[in-house]
Structure 1
Amino acid sequence: MLMGMAAFAANDAIGKWLVADYGVAQVILLRSLAALVMMAPFLMRGGQVMARIRSAPRPRLQALRAVCATAEVFCFYLAVFYMPLADVMAFWMAAPIYVVAISPFLLGERVGARTWGAVAVGFAGVLILLAPSLQISGPGVVFALLGTMAFAGIMVLGRSLRETPDRDLVLFQLGAAAIAGLVLAPFDWTPVRSGGDLALLFLLGVVATLAHMLVTRALKRADASVVAPLQYSLLVWGVLFGFTVFGDVPAPGMALGAALIVGSGLIVLRRPPRKIAADGA
């Protein structure tokens, strides 16, 4: 999980660099194609791709997870176009809190008063991130909030589909993003300007594939409550990459909001919610 978070941070930094010059759909399309090329040997080893797609367990959940993953990556790259990298990552840290907030309604889980209190603290952190003093533009905030919700959906669905092989989960995720990019990229296409940019686009696909494979494996090897807190290391990488690559200095409000989100998330994940029994007991 720690290696996956480091890979995601590198992926995010490269993506932010590229969307400054190329359309988001174009970057996602080329990133997805590069990732699929990299994964080809693993996909072929598992048998016919189309047969595995047709026989995938719980196809509706698979499709919903692919949609959430596609929405999440589009929203993230759109958010970092408008906002500093660390600020966007701070929003993404709220995903575990959203998971707990919706679990009574979607998963039938009982959430105690202590956990609800932690969720309230986390949302207070999100409100601090929304403070006008951070000078965050409106579109960036909207994309960040939508992307965080989509990321929470990926977390819930990924745990529910843990019987699906890692390569298939990543295949469905990358395939959906490639299709969306193929549809939207022609409306905002910029010719690749240099071999260096082309190399970065390919590297983006490689790093994204490694990140997804590492996180998917982590969620299958251990409970989400064990590995999910490690995603907060992403914020450290975000501050580091944001400062060294883009010269972004985190605002004091961002630090306070992120601290509240991380603290509440650790409290939430310390004791997993219990499922409500069939008789309501």
Structure 2
Amino acid sequence: MTRNPALLPLLATIIGIGFFSAMDAVMKSAALAVGAFSAYFLRCAIGVCLAAPIWALTNLRWPERHVLRIHLTRGVVGAFMGLSFFYAIVRLPLAEAIALSFISPLIALYLAAILLGERVEQKAIVAAMLGLIGVIIIVGGRIGRERMTEDAALGLAALFLSALLYAWNLILQRQQALVASPIEVSVFQNGIAGSVLLLGTPLLLVIPQDHTVWIDLVSGAVLTILAVLFLSWAYARAEAQVLVPIEYTGFLWAALFGWLMFDEMVTPATVAGAVLIVIGCWIATRQTPPEQTAI
């Protein structure tokens, strides 16, 4: 029996995305209370306070210039990606927002070829297309049963901006994972994104008065660190094109957390789209049998 070398990175990616989806849910709750900007900035600040001591105790070493450049790029991209995403999920159901963001893996597959020199296999393209069709079914079901409001339209616009940035983020995640430890990635991701957002705090920052909002923010920071640790470990051990389609499982997590926390119901169109998403993930992660060689 041939062992699939991508199995452990695959499982780590699924778990990491689960942590991210749980984070999205608690952050939606916090953003509804204090706004997307304040929720995201405070989560980044808390994340740095939690991750930096661990980094200092394990392997405190300032990154080399080329590594720092990757940290800076991903941090800046992450700042605007996260802000636009949290703005969107305040205005859209969580599961559908996640589903709409799945244009990112499709874009990322081609960015992996351009920026990382990876050869995009046919099965990865088929998997991405199946996932995208599943998303179209979900969105079509929503548009067919609801009238688009101005607030929802703004949410969609922010979500598509976030999706474009997230596609770039997926590639940067692979580059970053190859040159830095997971805890270092977490420290710089939160620190740089928070530093960018710091510029807007004089005008936009709202300090929560309700202790439950602080619980959400701390929970969001912890879940983010766990997600980054799992995903950084996975992306250091498998190509982006293998792991990117697994991003589609985020919809299943989001549907669960949206139902549990916000009573957001899952429609038949959502289920049908999810089935295609899962099939796409299965195709992407199937291992091609190795060719027989003479001994």
Identify the residue that residue 201 of structure 2 maps to in structure 1: 185
Q: Secondary structure at the match of 1:41?
A: helix
What TM-score, normalized to structure 1? Answer: 0.81
Match of 1:47 in 2: 60
Q: Which amino acid aligns with 1:142?
A: A
**Structure 1 residue 107: Cα displacement:** 4.0
Find the partner of 2:79 among 67, 70, 86.
70
Larger CA deviation: 165-174 vs 190-199:
190-199
Q: Unmatched 5+ residue regions in structure 2?
A: 1-11, 289-295
| Equivalent residues of 2:174, 2:235 under 8 A apart | yes
Q: CA deviation at 1:204?
A: 1.8
TM-score where L is the length of structure 2: 0.78
Provide the C-alpha distance between the structure 1 equivalents of 2:121 and 2:239, rounded to a whole number of angstroms: 20
Query: Which residue of structure 2 aligns with residue 88 of structure 1?
Result: 97
Tell me the alpha carbon deviations over residues 231-275 of structure 1, each in whole angstroms, 9 at most, x when there is no partner: 443222211111121111123333334444443454345479xxx
In structure 2, the CA distance between the partners of 1:47 and 1:144, relative to structure 1 (3 Å rule), is same
Per the alignment, residue 153 of structure 1 pairs with 168
> Per-residue deviation at 1:113?
6.0
Please state whether the residue corresponding to 1:21 is helix, strand or coil.
Answer: helix
Give the whole-Å Cα distance in 2 for the aligned partners of 1:92 and 1:261: 13
Structure 1, unaligned runs of 5 or more: 273-281
Distance 1:34 1:59, change over 3 A: closer
Report the CA distance between 1:117 and its aligned residue: 5.1
Provide closer, same or farther for how the CA distance between residues 143 and 158 of structure 1 changes in structure 2, counting only shifts above 3 A: same
Preserved contact between residue 96 and residue 139 of structure 2 (Cα < 8 Å) = no
- TM-fit CA distance, 1:159: 1.6
How many residue pairs are counted as aligned between the two chains?
268
Post-superposition CA distance 1:74-127 (Å, at most 9, x none) = 122111111101111213344332222334444445546665555444444444
Counterpart for residue 3 of structure 1: 15
Q: Distance in 1 between matches of 2:281 and 2:72?
A: 28
Checking the alignment, whether the CA contact within 8 Å between 2:67 and 2:180 is kept in structure 1 is no
Distance 1:154 1:14 in 2: 22
Q: Is the 8 A contact 1:134 1:253 kept in 2?
A: no
